[in-house]
């Protein structure tokens, strides 16, 4: 019996070592989706709107936050990085100021929106500047995809922030989320949904929806860089996130009239005056239909 126990212990130890060596031998390729509400310094919608004179400063903070994360990734040995601009028109990042070694995806619409460009070739995903779901307390500019239309989104009965919806797209391709940055509440929601071991960097603490206490700027940038290095060092410990199929989507809108056009789609049921519901076996099909319903609601 002891010989069998020793053999099993040796076998599992060897398997773990082999898996770690195999993971480390694979070229590290990281995908970054960057939003704007969770960027350091941002506390108001004026700062994330291209029509506002305050927007130019927030664009600079955005590229600085992203570059701090990129610096940490390269220092940790990452070979390739793709950054997807994921806020609003998705033309926010100052392209000429982002690290010249990375690829930038810019503009919209994009089939996978905030996750455009993700595939099986990536080793991990990082969410930078993300925000909490609609209805969160003391979180900067909380909303879910569309502040004007969406009250809540539920997948298999669980209310999802954007970080969860997007993490499941990464999970569809078997890629884990390894790090998230934003305010304190967003980081808390990320750990609750994706696991307590997720690397999170809170660059500010919400005082209300339009006010926050910021970390000193140099400290925030340092934490972003160090967080990226930690995420890479622990990359083999993260698992992809994807709820089990079939996927039951519920879209709760602010007003009943916003549900009228979407309810005309044969696959979609209007289960309450403001709520549309549908099921899919494929997560990406469900995500794309969800985006169509939100677009129709916003047009109403």
Kindly state the average pLDDT of the residues 177-182: 98
Q: Is 44 a catalytic residue?
A: no
Q: List C-alpha distances in Å: 123 to 79, 171, 200.
A: 11, 11, 18
pLDDT at position 5, please? 47
| Structure tokens belonging to residue 84 | 């997807």
CATH assignment, 247-299: 3.30.1360.130
pLDDT at position 25, please? 59
- CA dist 7 and 210 (Å) reads 60
Query: pLDDT digits over 10-33, tens only?
Result: 443 444 344 444 445 578 999 999
Kindly state the average pLDDT of the residues 96-116: 97
Q: Which listed residue (44, 87, 96, 143) is catalytic?
A: 143
Which residues sit opposite 34 in a β-bridge?
85, 128
CATH of 6-237, one of 3.40.50.10780, 3.40.1190.20, 3.40.50.2300, 3.30.2290.10: 3.40.50.10780
Range(s) of the chain covered by CATH 3.40.50.10780? 6-237
pTM over 0.85: yes
The mean predicted confidence, pLDDT, of the chain is 93
Kindly state the average pLDDT of the residues 200-219: 98
Kindly state the average pLDDT of the residues 86-93: 96
Range(s) of the chain covered by CATH 3.30.1360.130? 247-299
pLDDT at 240 over 80: yes
- CA dist 191 and 173 (Å) reads 21
Sign (positive/negative) of CA torsion 124, 129, 132, 138?
Answer: positive
pLDDT at position 16, please? 39
pLDDT at 91 over 90: yes
Residue for token pair 């999170």: 200
pLDDT at 132 over 80: yes
Kindly state the average pLDDT of the residues 221-234: 98
pLDDT at 9 over 70: no
Percent of the chain with pLDDT over 90: 91
pLDDT at 2 over 90: no
Kindly state the average pLDDT of the residues 158-175: 98
CA angle 40, 46, 127 (to 5 degrees): 35
Kindly state the average pLDDT of the residues 140-160: 97
């Amino acid at each position: 019996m002891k010989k069998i126990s020793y053999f099993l212990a040796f076998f599992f130890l060897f398997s773990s070592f082999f898996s770690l060596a195999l993971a480390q031998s694979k070229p590290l390729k990281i995908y970054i989706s960057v939003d704007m509400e969770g960027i350091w310094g941002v506390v108001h919608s004026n700062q994330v709107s291209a029509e506002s004179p305050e927007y130019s400063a927030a664009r600079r903070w955005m590229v600085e936050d992203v570059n701090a994360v990129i610096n940490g990734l390269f220092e940790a040995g990452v070979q390739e990085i793709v950054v997807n601009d994921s806020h609003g028109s998705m033309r926010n990042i100052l392209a000429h100021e982002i690290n010249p070694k990375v690829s930038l995806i810019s503009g919209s619409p994009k089939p996978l929106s905030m996750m455009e460009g993700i595939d099986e070739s990536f080793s991990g995903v990082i969410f930078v500047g993300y925000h909490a779901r609609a209805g969160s307390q003391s979180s900067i500019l909380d909303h879910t995809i569309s502040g004007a239309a969406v009250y809540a989104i539920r997948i298999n009965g669980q209310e999802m922030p954007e970080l969860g919806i997007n993490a499941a797209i990464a999970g569809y391709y078997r890629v884990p989320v390894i790090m998230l940055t934003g305010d304190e509440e967003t980081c808390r929601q990320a750990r609750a949904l994706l696991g307590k071991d997720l690397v999170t960097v809170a660059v500010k603490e919400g005082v209300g929806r339009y006010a926050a206490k910021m970390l000193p700027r140099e400290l925030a940038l340092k934490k972003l860089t160090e967080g990226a290095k930690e995420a890479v060092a622990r990359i083999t410990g993260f698992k992809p996130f994807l709820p089990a199929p079939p996927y039951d989507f519920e879209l709760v809108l602010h007003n009943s009239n916003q549900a009228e056009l979407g309810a005309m789609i044969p696959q979609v049921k209007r289960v309450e005056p403001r709520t549309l519901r549908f099921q899919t076996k494929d997560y990406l099909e469900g995500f794309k239909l969800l985006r169509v319903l939100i677009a129709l609601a916003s047009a109403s």
